Structure 1
Amino acid sequence: MSFPVHTRKTSRRTFPLESLLMPQVPRSNYLHFQEEKQRLQLKKFLLHRMFLVAKITADTEKKHIAEYYEQVFQSILKHHLGEAVTGLLLLYPTSILHILESCNGTLYRILSDYLNREKNETEFFIQGMKIIVVSHNIPTRLFMQWHVSVIKVPVIYLDDVTQSQSLEEVITEFLTQTHKLALHLFKTVKVGTKGPGDNLHQAVPELLLPEQIIKYLCKSEEFMDTETFINMYNKPIHITSDSEVVWPAPSHF
């Protein structure tokens, strides 16, 4: 006796050969790329680097300037979520060179505090601050912490380079020398130490800028002062979209 055998037809989907051979690449966008980059670098916010110069009164105790900035940094960190401040403060006899690295909000509050003191205090020891350049979204820090160094011994320069060079040449020398000094400190100063101290004029005199260049930049009108910078920062940007433009333009009869 034979029994009928029923065969079930199974339907199988056939996929194109191209889909099997094509590699599956995860898709992302530029925002995810930037966020991942910040996460890998352990940064909560984008970093910026700011170069500042200013004049100081001759009878000012240099430690008072360092204490002022330390108090400002601590106050900002207590009340504002942001990145820690790193950089270098060089204290010359009558001027300062200040390099700051932090997030946008922290730098804004540092400048705002200085501007308020300059306006409200009759004789604030830091005067005529100028912003030389701001580097946005820097990939890494040049400084692992904030250092202060007093240039005790004034260096004698036979020629005033600011009298024979153009502004472009002076600013090029300014940026070149400051970056060389920053790289030197990055390689030599260990994290957690007090920093270079007050002997930079003996250790690396060839990397120090002449004070005459800093004073020249303080007087230059091509660079923005703090008040102008803060006003531009606070000024809203009005952008006219295409939907707001009517064509042809209305005319009055």
Structure 2
Amino acid sequence: MASTGHHPKSSKKTLPLQSLLMPQVPRNNYLHLQEEKQRLQLKKFLLHRMFLVANTQANLEKKEIAEYYEQVFQSILKRHLGEAVTGLLLVYPTSILHILESSSGTLYQILLDYLDHERKETEYLVHNMKIIVISHNIPTRLFMQWHVSVIRVPVMYLDDVTQSQSLNEIITDFLTQTHKLALHLFKTVKAGAKGPGDNLHQVAPDLLLPEQIIKYLLKCEQFMDPVTFMNMYNKPIHITMDAEVVWPAPSRF
């Protein structure tokens, strides 16, 4: 006797070809990875660290330069989106060492402010500024706030290391000492504190750079001044692809 029952329908469904071709594992690119890192660290922008040196006016007061830069930072954050500025400003008798941590746009505006004073030829607190190095996309800040400290150490003209060392050796010592000083302040200065004070030459004398090093770097032509740097920063990049090259070159009749 023939069976009149219906065959049970198969529970397996044929998947469309498009779904088979799509990757089953979600894939992220490097940009998404960096954005996720910034989100987890509560940062809206990538952080950068910039080392500046400059000559100063005679008898520059700490209060005067501190108030000026604080006004610049506040003005920039009001007009442009970016990260807050942290870092350290060391005021020597005739020069400064300035370490700044912030987003690229904020650092860009700080340099523009300096250039604006130079173009107007107005009396400015600092002059002959040089950019020693810029560290891009730093993983974390070395400074929790922005501090100013006056270095009251007399200039030593004897045993000048700049006469016995190469530029590479001096730059290596410069970066090593500044990072050691930053780590020392990171461990010793609590968040919300006023800062390291003006007795760094007593608390951490081995971590302070002598002013003769700052003066030597200011004279080196290998380092860019803000004008040269900004010209390169704003210069568009034109890349000629092989497909754009036509031979023979077109000519007009």
Q: TM-score, normalised by structure 2?
A: 0.89
C-alpha distance in structure 1 between counterparts of 2:41 and 2:25, whole Å? 24
After the TM superposition, which residues 80-229 of structure 1 pair with which residues of structure 2 at under 5 Å, given as runs?
Answer: 80-154=80-154, 156=156, 158-229=158-229
Residue in 1 aligned with 2:21?
none
SS in 2 for 1:52: strand
Paired-residue identity, %: 78
| Total equivalences in the alignment | 244
Counterpart of 1:77 in structure 2: which amino acid? L
**In structure 2, do the counterparts of structure 1 residues 157 and 200 end up closer, same or farther at CA, with 3 Å as the change threshold?**
farther
Mean Cα deviation higher: 205-214 or 33-42: 33-42
Q: Does 1:78 align with 2:82?
A: no
Contact map agreement 2:155 2:212 (CA 8 A) in 1? no
C-alpha distance in structure 2 between counterparts of 1:171 and 1:180, whole Å? 14
Residue in 1 aligned with 2:11?
12
Q: Residue 238 of structure 1: CA displacement?
A: 1.6
C-alpha distance in structure 2 between counterparts of 1:76 and 1:49, whole Å? 17
Structure 1: stretches of 5+ with no match in the other structure:
16-23
C-alpha distance in structure 2 between counterparts of 1:231 and 1:28, whole Å? 35
SS in 2 for 1:31: helix
C-alpha distance in structure 1 between counterparts of 2:225 and 2:34, whole Å? 32
Q: Residue 38 of structure 1: CA displacement?
A: 1.2
Residue in 2 aligned with 1:242?
242
Contact map agreement 2:72 2:110 (CA 8 A) in 1? yes
Q: Residue 159 of structure 1: CA displacement?
A: 0.5
C-alpha distance in structure 2 between counterparts of 1:99 and 1:116, whole Å? 20
C-alpha distance in structure 1 between counterparts of 2:13 and 2:226, whole Å? 69
C-alpha distance in structure 2 between counterparts of 1:46 and 1:229, whole Å? 20
Counterpart of 1:79 in structure 2: which amino acid? R
Structure 2: stretches of 5+ with no match in the other structure:
15-23
Contact map agreement 2:66 2:148 (CA 8 A) in 1? yes
Q: TM-score, normalised by structure 1?
A: 0.89
Contact map agreement 2:156 2:212 (CA 8 A) in 1? no
C-alpha distance in structure 1 between counterparts of 2:192 and 2:248, whole Å? 66
C-alpha distance in structure 1 between counterparts of 2:157 and 2:180, whole Å? 20
Backbone CA RMSD of aligned residues = 2.2
Question: Following superposition, which runs of at least 4 residues in structure 1 exceed 3 angstroms of deviation?
Answer: 155-158, 247-253
Q: Residue 249 of structure 1: CA displacement?
A: 4.2
Q: Residue 5 of structure 1: CA displacement?
A: 6.2
Residue in 2 aligned with 1:18?
none
Mean Cα deviation higher: 113-122 or 86-95: 113-122
Counterpart of 1:45 in structure 2: which amino acid? F
C-alpha distance in structure 2 between counterparts of 1:205 and 1:118, whole Å? 34
Mean Cα deviation higher: 158-167 or 243-252: 243-252
C-alpha distance in structure 2 between counterparts of 1:72 and 1:7, whole Å? 83
C-alpha distance in structure 2 between counterparts of 1:251 and 1:122, whole Å? 51
Counterpart of 2:7 in structure 1: which amino acid? R
Deviations 1:148-168 (A, max 9, x none): 111123264631000111111
SS in 2 for 1:202: helix
